Amino acid sequence: MSSKVSWFILFLFVVMMTVVGLIAFDNIASSLIFGLGVGGIFGWIFSEKSKVKE
């Protein structure tokens, strides 16, 4: 079972969530953890390409 992931979309989500974390939190470490955690999870979910059934 291999899943095709669009790495650009994943990276884009991580960067966007890190920017949101910088705006929302005063601590840089908290914003980086938020960006990597939330951005990684949602980026992985939204960047998976669906399989075409043959």
**Distance (Å, rounded) from C-alpha 31 to C-alpha 10?**
17
Global pTM value: 0.77
What is residue 2's predicted lDDT score, i.e. its pLDDT?
54
- Whole-number pLDDT of residue 29: 95
pLDDT value of residue 28: 93
Tens digit of pLDDT at every position of the chain (54 positions): 456 777 888 899 999 999 999 999 999 999 999 999 999 999 888 887 654 454
- pLDDT at residue 46, rounded to an integer: 85
pLDDT at 47: 81
Q: What share of the chain is helix, strand, coil (3-state, %, to 5)?
A: 70, 5, 20
